[in-house]
């Protein structure tokens, strides 16, 4: 059974992650928000520290990478309940995004592409791709949240696949040294033919077309990537190269089952930062938040704040549940989507409401609240929009296929 307290073995790690987030990310948050597309050089040292922690066994999943089912055991022994890399990654991401979402997404070797590798790559590929910084390329100009409608093609040619297509909104697309590209082996076979490929940026035929200017997460580069007859070694197809029409899209969805709780954790961390700063501003303004009195008998500001805290805690618990289920080899597709849907929506609503409650402080650059409200919007969109998550949950609850419930 899930324990709602932070696992004892992770408490020092979470404390350390918070300290690092405060000193490295929060301290540079406004600087790189204003200097859009400038590379945050301070992250090089932080990434080295994270790599060192992982190699020494002191840290697990200090960024967005390292989520893989069922490979953790408590103290080297089998146990009925495990808290492994999924849980530690989510706890770490919450602390990092309490500081800055964009800077977390900019951390070398900690991208969502790395999570995709960890989720579906075989053991040989895990070792071969160790140390790469991987962006993840899913979205296309005509394909938004419906990842099953991907048009980028991968055609087998000897010992390589030839990839053609265009990907948009690729996080860390310029800075990363490789890209996990989702492509179809055979469009006539639908979802089952979609596979992911690790494409090194050094290969001929892959290029960054442009960088996007964005509402939020400005410190994170977001690129348009074009694949023009890009020959990718066949062994770079992640996981099983066979097309299994019975399994359908399940293999590709395994990536989302692991990464969606991470994005939910990002929203939880960002919203927590806004709540903490807003609470301080309200208390300094003389607003009393009394948990022993009914909300309706308190001021609008106090009652609103209490309601936001309740929604935030619900999002947190859903996120922890999805991560815990992944660590314990339990199917978590529905819970991952529930966490992403709840946290993405509530995170954005909370940060916007905090702007409102904080008044001029919330709308100006004197505080980071306005920045968190901008950053939080993408967390309700990428890795599947609100509507897509609700559709997935409905299918699971009703036991219907994607063709039966669109």
128, 144, 160: which is the final residue of a domain?
128
Query: Which backbone phi and psi does 397 adopt, to 5 degrees?
Result: -70, -40
pLDDT tens across the length of the chain (406 residues): 567 788 899 999 999 999 999 999 999 999 999 999 999 999 998 888 777 666 555 544 444 554 555 444 444 455 567 888 889 999 999 999 999 999 999 999 887 888 888 888 999 999 999 999 999 999 999 887 677 789 999 999 999 999 999 999 999 999 999 999 999 999 888 888 999 999 999 999 999 999 999 999 999 999 999 999 999 999 999 988 888 766 656 556 777 888 899 999 999 999 999 999 999 999 999 999 999 999 999 999 999 999 999 999 999 999 999 999 999 989 999 999 999 999 999 999 999 999 999 999 999 999 999 999 999 999 999 888 999 999 999 999 999 988 899 8
The CATH number for 381's domain is: 1.20.140.10
Residue 335 belongs to what domain range?
A: 250-398
Q: Is residue 404 part of a domain?
A: no
Q: 103 and 147 share a domain? A: no
242 included as an active-site residue? no
Q: 93 and 160 share a domain? A: no
Q: 263 and 344 share a domain? A: yes
Exactly one of 212, 283, 383, 404 is catalytic; name it. Answer: 383
> Is the full-model pTM beyond 0.85?
yes
Q: Is residue 359 part of a domain?
A: yes
93, 128, 163: which is the final residue of a domain?
128
Q: 140 and 220 share a domain? A: yes
The CATH number for 212's domain is: 2.40.110.10
The CATH number for 45's domain is: 1.10.540
Per the listing, tokens 């919007």 go with 377
Q: Is residue 313 part of a domain?
A: yes
Q: 123 and 154 share a domain? A: no
Q: 350 and 282 share a domain? A: yes
Q: 265 and 385 share a domain? A: yes
Q: Is residue 245 part of a domain?
A: no
**Number of other CB atoms surrounding residue 247 within 10 Å:** 14
The number of distinct structural domains making up the chain is: 3
d(CA 59, CA 66): 11
Q: Is residue 406 part of a domain?
A: no
Q: 100 and 228 share a domain? A: no
């Amino acid at each position: 059974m899930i324990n709602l307290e932070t696992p004892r073995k992770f408490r020092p790690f979470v404390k350390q992650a918070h300290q690092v987030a405060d000193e490295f990310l929060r301290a540079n948050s406004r600087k790189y928000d204003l200097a859009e597309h400038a590379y945050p050089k301070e992250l090089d040292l932080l990434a080295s520290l994270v790599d060192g922690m992982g190699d020494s066994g002191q840290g697990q999943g200090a960024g967005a990478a390292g989520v893989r089912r069922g490979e953790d055991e408590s103290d080297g022994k089998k146990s009925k309940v495990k808290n492994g890399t999924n849980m530690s990654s989510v706890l770490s991401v919450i602390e990092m995004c309490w500081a800055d979402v964009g800077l977390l997404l900019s951390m070398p070797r900690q991208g969502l592409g790395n999570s995709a590798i960890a989720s579906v790559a075989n053991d040989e590929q895990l070792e071969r791709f160790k140390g790469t910084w991987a962006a993840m390329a899913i979205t296309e100009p005509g394909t938004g949240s419906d990842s099953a409608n991907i048009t980028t093609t991968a055609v087998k040619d000897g010992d390589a696949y030839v990839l053609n297509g265009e990907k948009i909104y690729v996080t860390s697309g310029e800075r990363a040294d490789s890209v996990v590209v989702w492509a179809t082996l055979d469009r006539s076979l639908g979802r089952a033919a979609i596979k992911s490929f690790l494409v090194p940026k050094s290969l001929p035929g892959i290029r960054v077309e442009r960088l996007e200017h964005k509402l939020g997460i400005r410190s994170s580069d977001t690129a348009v990537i074009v694949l023009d007859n890009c020959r990718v070694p066949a062994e770079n197809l992640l996981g099983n190269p066979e097309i299994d029409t019975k399994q359908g899209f399940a293999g590709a969805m395994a990536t989302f089952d692991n990464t969606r709780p991470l994005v939910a954790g990002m929203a939880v961390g960002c919203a927590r930062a806004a709540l903490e700063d807003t609470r301080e501003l309200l208390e300094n303004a003389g607003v009393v938040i009394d948990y022993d009195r009914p909300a309706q008998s308190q001021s609008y500001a106090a009652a609103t704040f209490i309601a936001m805290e309740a929604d935030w805690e619900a999002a947190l618990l859903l996120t922890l549940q999805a991560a815990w289920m992944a660590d314990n080899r339990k199917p978590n597709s529905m819970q991952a989507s529930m966490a992403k849907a709840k946290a993405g929506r509530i995170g954005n609503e909370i940060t916007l409401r905090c702007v409102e409650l904080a008044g001029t402080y919330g709308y100006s650059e004197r505080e980071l609240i306005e920045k968190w409200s901008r950053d939080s919007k993408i967390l309700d969109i990428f890795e599947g929009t609100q509507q897509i998550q609700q559709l997935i949950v409905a299918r699971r609850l009703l036991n219907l296929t994607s063709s039966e419930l669109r």
